[in-house]
Amino acid sequence: MTAAKRIAQSMTLPCGAVLPNRIGKSATQEGLATPLGHASELNVTLYRRWSEGGAGLLISGDVMVDYSHRERPGNIVIDDNGGIDALRRWAKAGQVAGNQLWMQINQPGRQTPIDVQAHPMAPSANMAGLPPEGFGMLRAMTEAEILDLIERFGRVAATAREAGFTGVQLHAAHGFMASSFLSPLCNTRDDAWGGSLENRARFMIESLRAMRRAVGNDFALSVKMNAADFHKGGFDMEQSMAVIAMLNAESLDLLEISGGNYDAPAMIGAMGSGSPLARKKAERTLRREAYFMEYARRARPIATMPLMITGGSARWMRWRRLWMRMQLTSSALPGHSAHPPIFRQSCSMAKRRKSR
Check: CB of residue 153 under 8 Å from CB of residue 105: yes
What pLDDT, in 10s, does the model give residues 245-292?
999 999 999 999 987 665 544 444 444 444 444 455 555 544 444 568
Is residue 85 over pLDDT 90?
yes
What pLDDT, in 10s, does the model give residues 203-251?
999 999 999 999 999 999 999 999 888 778 889 999 999 999 999 999 9
DSSP strand pairing (18-19 vs 11-12): antiparallel
Burial class (CB in 10 A: 0-12, 13-18, 19+), 78: buried
Check: CB of residue 186 under 8 Å from CB of residue 129: yes
Work out the average pLDDT over 296-325. 72
Neighbouring-strand partners of residue 63: 105
CA dihedral sign, ordered 271, 203, 145, 193: negative
> Whole-model pTM?
0.85
What pLDDT, in 10s, does the model give residues 60-76?
999 999 999 999 989 99
Q: Is 249 helix (H, G, I), strand (E, B) or coil?
A: coil
80-113 residues labelled b (16+ CB within 10 A) or e (exposed)? eeebeebbebbbbbbbebebbbbbbbbbbbbbbb
Check: CB of residue 208 under 8 Å from CB of residue 220: no
Identify the CATH number of the domain defined by range 3-11+20-346. Answer: 3.20.20.70
What pLDDT, in 10s, does the model give residues 94-111?
999 999 999 999 999 999
Check: CB of residue 267 under 8 Å from CB of residue 275: no
Distance CA 203, CA 267 (A): 22
Higher pLDDT, 325 or 345: 325
Is residue 24 over pLDDT 50?
yes
User: Could you state, in order of their start, the residue ranges of all structural domains in the chain?
Assistant: 3-11+20-346
- Confidence label for 355 from pLDDT (cuts 50, 70 and 90): very low
